[in-house]
Amino acid sequence: MKKSGQLNIFLHVVILLSFIFGISAQENNRLQDIINNLSFYTNNSPPEKVYVQTDKDTYTSGETIFG
């Protein structure tokens, strides 16, 4: 009975490790796809700029911009 219990634990560990290594192999491809897409977007998209016109040149902390 003791050997079958040890075999059972060993099989569970082997199955768990196979899932962990299988998942990490898939994540590397997914991670590389994300990196490639972000690089493509960064290189092929113009920068987005926002211009804000305010009524004063400087503001202090806590002061509202428009009021």
CA 7 to CA 18: how far, in whole Å? 16
CA 8 to CA 29: how far, in whole Å? 33
pLDDT higher than threshold 80 for residue 66: no
H helices of 1-67, in order, are: 2-44
pLDDT higher than threshold 60 for residue 12: yes
Q: Which residues lie below 8 Å from residue 59, measured CB to CB, with a gap of 6+?
A: 65
Domain ranges of the chain: 1-67
pLDDT of residue 54: 85
For residues 32 and 43, is the Cβ–Cβ distance under 8 A? no
* pLDDT single digits (tens) 20-40: 766 655 566 888 888 899 999
pLDDT of residue 37: 92
For residues 65 and 59, is the Cβ–Cβ distance under 8 A? yes
Quote the pTM value. 0.35
